[in-house]
Structure 1
Amino acid sequence: MIVLTVTIICFAAAVLVFWRIPYSGTRAEFQKLVSGLTDGEPAAAAVFTPEDWTPLPPPVRRYFETAGFTGYPKMSAMQAEFRKVKFSLGPGKAIITIGYNQVNSVARTDRIAFIDAKLYGIPFQGLDTYVEGTGGMKGVLGKAFTLFNQRGAEMDQACLVTFLSEALLLPSAALQSYITWKPIDNLHAEATISRYGSTASGIFTFRENGECQSFTTNDRTAVGMDGSRQQVRWSAYMDDYSNIDGIRQPTRLRAVWHYDEGDLVYFDSDNLLIEYR
């Protein structure tokens, strides 16, 4: 009995030490994917000019004209960091605090994000990936136990439309031929992205001062941790714009599922920081 007790205590101590060390397989996978993300992409060798915005619908053109991108070096990738994000585990479920880091690639339309959090004191880490047209969402508990690993055509399209929702934050992507723009009115424009055999669309809404207010789509399936799937209207809201290094950027981003029973704000961060490569 004493031997068993000592064994259990030693095992528990080893687990706690393992949880506290910086290394994790999920983080290492994220870093490996990111390290090769821009391999083979040409370095930005030009700057944005007013001619770049000319073909775009009026509110999109006004967004870029007023955001400060004219004369700014064209980028091949974007890194976004969110800290202390309020994240909901689902309708009626707990809200936890997470760290969220992502990198988007212009040429490949790849998008890779790492989630770092704790569930009841146990490390929880996740990996959202869209690589060469394949989307995925994986969650790992205690650095060792995979809770879910969602794949499939619906995930592919969901990840593709998520990339589209962030296109205005990454101007080089917004100008690529894989995104087509359709004017609606002075404050709205529709965008469609086509990659790797998948297509997704959504509507961007703008404020009178040129800021992008939101992106809304019906092409993003709500995929639960249990594998459940539900077609739900989805929006991303961009607020609290600040001038950062000469560029007007939103510092708050919220992601919302518009369920029939009411809206669920499942991602809410007011400290977004964007860097370009």
Structure 2
Amino acid sequence: MLWIVIVLIALAILVVYLAIPGGKLWKQYLTDVKISLIETNRQRSAQSLFTEDYVAKLPTLIRQHIINGGYLGKPFMNNMLIYFHNTKFRMSAGKTPIKIKFMQVNFVSRPDRHAFLTGRIAGIPLQAKDSMLDGFGSMTGVLAKLFQLFRSTGSEMDQGQLITALADAVYMPSLFLQEYVSWSVVDDHTVEGEITWKSVSAKGRFTFDNNGNIIRFDTNDRYMDQNGKGSLLVPWYVTYSDYKEQNGYRQPGSVSVNWMLPDGDDTYFVSDHIEVHYSINEANL
């Protein structure tokens, strides 16, 4: 009987451990965010408000997106905390999507970004950290807060994280004004941005509707993992829709993230409830 009691106690401890938020990866995430907060606060922009003069150097379509969003006359944000609620995520093409919680913090003076995902696979907690810290990109996944499923680093990850930071700037347009981003006009509804940091560059195209709202971002500069057999450049795009008012700004309420595959598009991330906070500090996490 004693061994049964021991097993039951061990199982109870395991259940409690898995139910408690946190873990080693979460602690590393918070450490990375803190590093970015400290470093970017030292380099923060002297610009205090979005003004017509300050955005005048941007392409007309980008300026219109800023005007439509209600940013003119508002504080110039140095970072952004964004929560994606009601989110579904597909681990890989053909897999069944799972419900997740997803948050990220993005920065302006340098294009750091730190995203954190939590979910469950067969009832077991899944965590993933998706980061770029001063040009170094990485992606790490763990199961049950202990067992590492994957870890990706290297130049391909650096480039992928960099172009994702540009796509994220739909919600944080102060990044559009940084010296490490340059622009070219493609046509009446499209502009191309190039983002460069630590000798790594990537390009992406923003598509606008007739009202000057960004509705899509496309890039050919993002790598897709080939089931552990290396990675390949695969066309990647984000769609933005359901613009709505939030905290005095007009922003997309829904996003989907997609790969363009030979057999059809793979939509692997969808969220229709997005919550944005600007110029946060460590206490906000």
What range is the shorter-chain TM-score in? Answer: over 0.9
Matches within 5 A, 1:104-183: 104-183=106-185
Q: Within 2, Cα distance between the matches of 1:154 and 1:109? A: 16
Are positions 1:216 and 2:215 aligned together?
no
Looking at structure 1, the residues matched to 229 and 23 of structure 2 have their Cα atoms a distance apart, in angstroms, of 24
Distance in 2, Cα, partners of 1:258 & 1:43 = 37
Counterparts of 1:227 and 1:239, CA distance in 2:
35
* Cα distance in 1, alignment partners of residues 71 and 124 from structure 2: 42
Deviation at 1:122, TM superposition (A): 0.5
Q: Report SS of the residue matched to 2:160.
A: helix
Q: Which runs of 5+ in 1 are unaligned?
A: none
Residue equivalent to 1:263 = 265
Corresponding residue SS for 1:83: strand
CA deviation string 1:243-264 (max 9, x = no partner): 1222111111110000011001
Match of 1:17 in 2: 16
- RMSD between superposed Cα atoms in Å: 1.7
- CA 1:173–1:131: 2 relative to 1, 3 Å: same
Give CA deviations for 1:189-220 in whole Å, capped at 9, x if unaligned: 00000101100001100011111001000000
**Residues in 2 aligned to 1:99 and 1:174: alpha-carbon distance in whole angstroms:** 27
Gaps of 5+ in 2: 280-285
Regions of 4+ moved over 6 Å: none
Of all paired residues, the percent bearing the same amino acid is 34
In the alignment, is the contact (CA less than 8 A) between 2:128 and 2:139 conserved in 1?
yes
Deviates more, 1:72-81 or 1:60-69: 60-69
> In the alignment, does 2:162 pair up with 1:186?
no
- Per-residue deviation, 1:271: 0.4
Deviation of the 1:45 alpha carbon: 5.4
Name the count of aligned residue pairs: 276
1:143-169 CA-partner distances (Å, limit 9, x unpaired): 111110111111110000000112232
Q: Is the Cα–Cα contact under 8 Å of residues 237 and 259 in structure 2 kept in the other structure? A: yes
- Report what 1:30 is aligned to: 29
For residue 169 of structure 1, give the secondary structure of its aligned residue in structure 2.
coil
**Matched AA of 1:9:** L
In the TM superposition, residue 132 of structure 1 has moved relative to its aligned partner by: 1.2
2:128 touches 2:141 (CA, 8 Å); kept in 1? yes
TM norm structure 1: 0.94
Aligned to 2:102: 100
Per the normalisation by structure 2, the TM-score is: 0.92
**Secondary structure of residue in 1 paired with 2:8:** helix
Deviation at 1:125, TM superposition (A): 0.6
Select 1:205's aligned residue among 193, 207, 217. Answer: 207
**CA positional deviation for 1:224:** 5.3
Distance (Å, rounded) in 2 between the aligned partners of 1:168 and 1:125: 26
Instruction: Give 1:38 shift.
Output: 1.9
Code of the residue aligned with 2:241 in structure 1: it is D
Contact 2:45 2:109 (C-alpha < 8 Å) held by counterparts: no
Taking the aligned partners of 1:173 and 1:23, their CA distance within structure 2 comes to 30
Displacement of 1:32: 2.0
Aligned 8 A contact 2:137 2:158 in 1: yes
Residue aligned with 1:216, SS: strand
Aligned CA distance change for structure 1 residues 225 and 71 (closer, same or farther; 3 Å): farther
| Cα displacement (A) at 1:227 | 5.8
CA contact (8 A) 2:71 2:249 kept: yes
Q: Aligned partners of 1:179 and 1:43: how far apart in 2?
A: 15
CA distance in 1, matches of 2:45, 2:54: 18
Given that 1:50 and 1:65 are in contact with CA atoms closer than 8 Å, whether structure 2 keeps it comes out as: no
Q: 2:283 maps to which residue?
A: none
Contact 1:240/1:251 (CA < 8 Å) preserved in 2? Answer: yes
CA contact (8 A) 1:44 1:75 kept: no
In 1, are the aligned partners of 2:85 and 2:101 still within 8 Å (CA)? yes
